[in-house]
Structure 1
Amino acid sequence: MTTTKRGNTRALLARDPDLGAGNVLTTLIEMGADTERPTFTFDTAVDGRPAWTALTLGLLDERVRARAAALSALGIGRRDPVAVTATGVADNILTFLALARLGAIPALINAKLAPEITALYVSRLGAVGVLADAARREALAPHGLTLLAPIEGLGAADPADAPAPYRFFRDDPVAITHSSGTTGVPKAVLHSHTSLYAANRHRLRMPKAQGTDRILSALPAPHAATLIALNLALSSESELLGLSRQTGPSVLDAIEKWRPSGVLGFAATWSEMAKTDLRGRDLDSVALWWNTGDCAHEAHIRRLISLGYREVSTKEGRVRKPGSAFIDGLGSSEMGHSHFYITHTAETNRYGRCIGRPHTFAEPVVLDPEGNELPHGQVGELGTKSPTLSLGYWNDSVTTHRTRVRGYFLTGDLVYRDEEGYFYHVDRLVDSVDLGDGKRLHTALSEERVLNACPDVADCTVVAVRTDDGVVTDVMLQLDPAADPAADRTAAIHAALGPDVAATVRSIVVVDDERIPLGPTGKVRKVALRAEVTGQGAR
């Protein structure tokens, strides 16, 4: 065993060829890392430790070994797929780490997924059983699943009984996460030991980013992005707070309570915060907002970068300056990590749904329906290659191969690239509608334009459907708390959308949050809204 000196950990990990998503914790312990440094903080009690109390690296290892001992006693071992569904972030993270230690394959399932959909998803997985907390066990009990020991009790086992850590190889399966499920039963996305850590390895070779010493994660606990974030925090000697609830008010409360320097979230998080009155909130600790998944809207970004402080280099040295930074991009469970990045501050002005330039580990292209690469300025489907890509869909080789063309993964996103190498996201392919004569209606881009045209609109949902009578578009507005709900915004919205899209608009209506159906990760279920127009019901 080699005892590491403080500050050497990142360099040593970056040079370790066997390091991956399944063995960061055990590698740190074996290399003699500082076991007294704080690692993870949870918003619920963990094995008798109060909520909001940091676990040291040593205590984290002990808690994981206890769970591994309990799981091993249940007969769970190498290559066993085990479904995990729990409402608290602590149970998700600690159970992932314990199953990884055994070489099992944790299949993390969002607790907001309906019980009947969860049961169907688990049956397709072929899981050996389900680890669930009390709330989820009760909901799943009528559905005939094999429910294993209560997840809350796993930590009662003796850590000394844990088997030796499994030795991972490059392409070993390390986790199954799932897609957003906004169009039906989620797809089961398989990640490897190497793929789920590839972006973190890239970051370890770079200077530690400002705003990553103390990170608040507002990401859904079972998502691939959370697994990447927890391993990044361990590898970078950062502190990480995991939130079990990602509503706007709960995130704001946690920022004020825990004082993070950086906040990780999805676009839905920033949207939720935009609908919350930020006046009087103490968000000065935040230097960095870090978005993944769908790219964020300019209106939401601008609100956030006006808050907090960051350090900047000047002739007089580094100074603390009002205003934070926002890193945007585009990612998905299948991509394994955002393949793009762009940093917004008050001094930058490249928006229009720009997702930035690709990371050095990604090779994105814009493709036509036949798989041919399109020139600059033309909209097509995003295809990408990267060591971060998932291995495919678990137990679904048909979908795996349908989403591959010429070695590229087809993301289902419509994008274009400019001559400077910046990429722009305009919509999801399933949400965009052909208007004829070479014109298309892009709902995400339309939402961006409405938000920019109407500063008192906190969020916007645009849904377009082709009917027998032509294209019908509905615009649903969620207002800023100080906005006038009776104001007529029709002219401004029509002008923002342009004549071709404006001609399809059937209604512009102010709605409450409850009117917008959301998937388990907070994405709008436009398939359900389209079904209302066609009267066919959402699938």
Structure 2
Amino acid sequence: MTGRDIRARLAADPDLGAGNVLPKLFEHGADPGGPGAAFDQPVDGHPAGSALTLGALRERVEARAAWWHAHGIGPRDPVAVYVSGSADTLLSFLALTWLGAIPALMNQYLTGDTAAAYLRKLGATALVTDPVHRERLAGGDLGGLALHADAADTGGGDPGSAPAPYRHHADDPIAVTHSSGTTRMPAAVVHSHASLFAAMRLFRLTAPRARGAERILSTLPAAHAAGISALNMALCLRSDLLFLSTQNDGAAVVDAIESWRPTGVLGFAATWAQLARQDLAARDLDSVSLWFNTGDCAHEPHIRRLVAAGSRETATRDGVRRMPGSSFVDGLGSTEMGHSAFHITHTRTTGRYGRCVGVPHGFAEVALLDTATGREVPAGQVGQLGLKAPTLAPGYWNDSAATYRNRLGGYYLTGDLMYRDEAGYYYHVDRAVDAVDLGGGEHLYTAMSEERILGACPDVHDCTVVSDRVGGQVVTDVLLALHDGADPDADRTPAVRTALTPAAAATLRRVVVISDADLITGPTGKVRKFLMRQRHRARSAEAGVGA
């Protein structure tokens, strides 16, 4: 049976969702010898990078399902997963959903104290860790768990004793993942069987498989909603998949591209920033025809470096030819949104940038709202993004107040500030918590300012805009992290000032070169701006700057 036939059968199955893709593939006749998944770390005797067939993947999942079942885990039991590798994370997800349990996937980079506090709020029945994370949690109050398992043990169950797969309802919770925690304690987001599969059902299963999706390298965090979706997408499209366990090492990602030869690479904006620092022209990236971004939209300088690499099939007068240069699909999403709500495709010849995230997907109803009145703002005016979509997470685990706090007029408020142009394209300017009101109708939008500074200063690979009030006035410092070999003593103040809007430029106090070590990032690699602001303010006060 062909992959297209399988996709058609899956698309016609009303019971298919994010929690049962693996058993449904076998129900609809998928070849056990076809593609399952590969991981960058050894698992259950399989070497790192060794592809598990679909049949081998099912056996490994059944072994874990049998182990958990024998230890009393069943439907509706929340089980926290706090491990290092993508294999243990995703095999745990598949096994626990096989039982109807609710895997609560935790990012491997969470610190021990944050993880312990998160676990207490989660109220999980059980927890699975590895030696690294067990040590990280040592001595902490984990909230009275009934079972604390070692990931290595869970693969030792008897696959033949696994119970039949649980039958999910559309509203059943099939995972809890958490936000990046860039502004606060990570929020535990619930995903349902239907919501986390809605985009797959609505257009990916019914449309032809995209060019570049034949052989997928995922650099997404396995413990993120996007990681689950990447796994399910590859399985449904019958694509080869290699799932990496780290997103913050650009050199390692490039090495994986050269050795594994993917046609498409999935990632977050932080990964593209790391890749853009590499000498891509000196590496063999010709296999890549597609880069796919989700989460925060990517910066123009990073996109331009990536689309200059790779190659893609292009229609010419002489037929379809493979030409230099790749495509980059950008958008805007979040844990709560479940899937990017917008999309735009960049190539070497496109030019719609300026943090343009394109147009909404067909399943997304969007509105840019004045939160004071609840009304939509006109074209050209910045408003907060409101979203209605079947991909939206149902809410926050054990936090009804947060679930309802971000709703307005039937829309979920994402916390993103955007405007749309007369042609219907949408542009992201900032997160609402990061924007600074300058008075007189003027605002400093930090994300848009950083985009413009990166474009004006090609020797800068990352920057953070920090504003504060001194003597009743807003003052702004711009922190620059430089590419290797850039002159740290060069005066970039004129270029930075020109890149800012006049109102923002009037607040500019200093341009400061920082090291990569000075960038504070969260578990998904995003810069934690509020911590950057706090630390910079403290250092400025100690130095007597602005006093």
TM-score (norm 2): 0.96
- Aligned residue among 15, 18, 21 for 2:18: 21
2:408 maps to what in 1? Answer: 405
Counterparts of residues 32-51 of structure 1 (less than 5 Å)? 32-51=29-48
**Cα displacement (A) at 1:480:** 2.1
Give, in whole Å, the separation in 1 of the partners of 2:193 and 2:501.
47
**Cα displacement (A) at 1:534:** 4.5
Q: 1:430 is paired with a residue of what secondary structure?
A: coil
The answer (yes or no) to whether the contact 1:23–1:101 under 8 Å persists in 2 is yes
1:214 maps to what in 2? Answer: 215
1:526 maps to what in 2? Answer: 529
Letter in 2 for 1:237: R
Give, in whole Å, the separation in 2 of the partners of 1:322 and 1:301.
15
Deviation sequence 1:300-337 (CA, Å, 0-9, x none): 00000000000012232211010000000000000000
**Cα displacement (A) at 1:536:** 11
Q: 2:136 is paired with a residue of what secondary structure?
A: helix
Deviation sequence 1:422-457 (CA, Å, 0-9, x none): 110000011110000000000000011011111121
Deviation sequence 1:250-288 (CA, Å, 0-9, x none): 111111111111111100001112223334111111100
| % identical aligned pairs | 60
Letter in 2 for 1:264: L
Q: 1:141 is paired with a residue of what secondary structure?
A: coil
The answer (yes or no) to whether the contact 2:314–2:321 under 8 Å persists in 1 is yes
2:425 maps to what in 1? Answer: 422
Q: Does 1:69 align with 2:66?
A: yes
**Cα displacement (A) at 1:486:** 2.4
The answer (yes or no) to whether the contact 1:274–1:459 under 8 Å persists in 2 is no
- Aligned residue among 116, 128, 131 for 2:128: 131
Give, in whole Å, the separation in 2 of the partners of 1:522 and 1:463.
19
**Cα displacement (A) at 1:365:** 0.6
The answer (yes or no) to whether the contact 1:277–1:481 under 8 Å persists in 2 is no
Give, in whole Å, the separation in 1 of the partners of 2:463 and 2:537.
21
The answer (yes or no) to whether the contact 2:36–2:55 under 8 Å persists in 1 is no
Give, in whole Å, the separation in 1 of the partners of 2:37 and 2:69.
24
Letter in 2 for 1:56: T
- Aligned residue among 305, 308, 313 for 1:306: 308
2:297 maps to what in 1? Answer: 295
The answer (yes or no) to whether the contact 1:276–1:480 under 8 Å persists in 2 is no
The answer (yes or no) to whether the contact 1:276–1:481 under 8 Å persists in 2 is no
Give, in whole Å, the separation in 2 of the partners of 1:422 and 1:499.
25
Deviation sequence 1:151-192 (CA, Å, 0-9, x none): 122111110011100001111101000001112211000000
**Cα displacement (A) at 1:29:** 1.3
Q: Does 1:194 align with 2:194?
A: yes
Deviation sequence 1:444-476 (CA, Å, 0-9, x none): 000110111111212222122334432122211
The answer (yes or no) to whether the contact 2:173–2:191 under 8 Å persists in 1 is yes
Counterparts of residues 329-344 of structure 1 (less than 5 Å)? 329-344=331-346
Deviation sequence 1:57-115 (CA, Å, 0-9, x none): 00000000000000111101000111101110100000000000000000000111111
Q: Does 1:438 align with 2:435?
A: no
The answer (yes or no) to whether the contact 1:275–1:479 under 8 Å persists in 2 is no
Give, in whole Å, the separation in 2 of the partners of 1:408 and 1:241.
36
Deviation sequence 1:337-365 (CA, Å, 0-9, x none): 00000000011110010001000000111
Give, in whole Å, the separation in 2 of the partners of 1:114 and 1:130.
16
Q: Does 1:485 align with 2:482?
A: no
Deviation sequence 1:226-249 (CA, Å, 0-9, x none): 101100000000011111111111
1:162 maps to what in 2? Answer: 162
**Cα displacement (A) at 1:38:** 2.2
1:498 maps to what in 2? Answer: 501
1:240 maps to what in 2? Answer: 241
**Cα displacement (A) at 1:10:** 1.0
Give, in whole Å, the separation in 2 of the partners of 1:433 and 1:168.
45
1:116 maps to what in 2? Answer: 113
The answer (yes or no) to whether the contact 1:309–1:321 under 8 Å persists in 2 is yes
The answer (yes or no) to whether the contact 1:41–1:240 under 8 Å persists in 2 is yes
**Cα displacement (A) at 1:500:** 1.6
Q: 2:424 is paired with a residue of what secondary structure?
A: coil
The answer (yes or no) to whether the contact 2:218–2:242 under 8 Å persists in 1 is yes
Letter in 1 for 2:216: I
The answer (yes or no) to whether the contact 1:431–1:464 under 8 Å persists in 2 is no
**Cα displacement (A) at 1:31:** 1.8
Letter in 1 for 2:301: A
1:95 maps to what in 2? Answer: 92
The answer (yes or no) to whether the contact 2:290–2:327 under 8 Å persists in 1 is yes
- Aligned residue among 444, 451, 455 for 1:452: 455
Comparing 439-448 with 523-532, which one deviates more in the overlay?
Answer: 523-532
The answer (yes or no) to whether the contact 1:189–1:393 under 8 Å persists in 2 is yes
**Cα displacement (A) at 1:506:** 2.1
Comparing 503-512 with 28-37, which one deviates more in the overlay?
Answer: 503-512
Distance 1:252 1:120, change over 3 A: same
Give, in whole Å, the separation in 1 of the partners of 2:533 and 2:483.
25
The answer (yes or no) to whether the contact 1:274–1:480 under 8 Å persists in 2 is no
Q: 1:164 is paired with a residue of what secondary structure?
A: coil
Letter in 1 for 2:491: D
The answer (yes or no) to whether the contact 2:481–2:515 under 8 Å persists in 1 is yes
**Cα displacement (A) at 1:498:** 2.9
Comparing 235-244 with 491-500, which one deviates more in the overlay?
Answer: 491-500
Give, in whole Å, the separation in 2 of the partners of 1:468 and 1:156.
64
The answer (yes or no) to whether the contact 2:182–2:530 under 8 Å persists in 1 is yes
Comparing 485-494 with 324-333, which one deviates more in the overlay?
Answer: 485-494
Comparing 91-100 with 495-504, which one deviates more in the overlay?
Answer: 495-504
Give, in whole Å, the separation in 2 of the partners of 1:437 and 1:153.
62
Deviation sequence 1:129-166 (CA, Å, 0-9, x none): 21111110111121132352201221111100111000
Q: 1:285 is paired with a residue of what secondary structure?
A: coil
Letter in 1 for 2:119: V
Q: Does 1:144 align with 2:145?
A: no
Give, in whole Å, the separation in 2 of the partners of 1:286 and 1:136.
34
The answer (yes or no) to whether the contact 1:472–1:505 under 8 Å persists in 2 is yes
Give, in whole Å, the separation in 1 of the partners of 2:485 and 2:290.
26
Q: What is the alpha-carbon root mean square deviation over aligned residues?
A: 1.4
**Cα displacement (A) at 1:514:** 0.7
The answer (yes or no) to whether the contact 1:298–1:351 under 8 Å persists in 2 is yes
Q: 2:42 is paired with a residue of what secondary structure?
A: coil
**Cα displacement (A) at 1:32:** 1.8
- Aligned residue among 382, 388, 392 for 1:389: 392
Letter in 2 for 1:382: L
The answer (yes or no) to whether the contact 2:295–2:334 under 8 Å persists in 1 is yes
Distance 1:323 1:491, change over 3 A: same
Q: Does 1:473 align with 2:476?
A: yes
The answer (yes or no) to whether the contact 1:327–1:341 under 8 Å persists in 2 is yes
Unaligned ranges ≥5, structure 2: 541-547
The answer (yes or no) to whether the contact 2:6–2:29 under 8 Å persists in 1 is no
1:321 maps to what in 2? Answer: 323
Give, in whole Å, the separation in 2 of the partners of 1:502 and 1:432.
15
Distance 1:536 1:76, change over 3 A: farther
**Cα displacement (A) at 1:15:** 1.2
The answer (yes or no) to whether the contact 1:84–1:108 under 8 Å persists in 2 is yes
2:275 maps to what in 1? Answer: 273
**Cα displacement (A) at 1:207:** 1.3
Q: 1:185 is paired with a residue of what secondary structure?
A: coil
Comparing 265-274 with 524-533, which one deviates more in the overlay?
Answer: 524-533
Distance 1:467 1:20, change over 3 A: farther
Give, in whole Å, the separation in 2 of the partners of 1:192 and 1:92.
18
The answer (yes or no) to whether the contact 2:281–2:309 under 8 Å persists in 1 is no
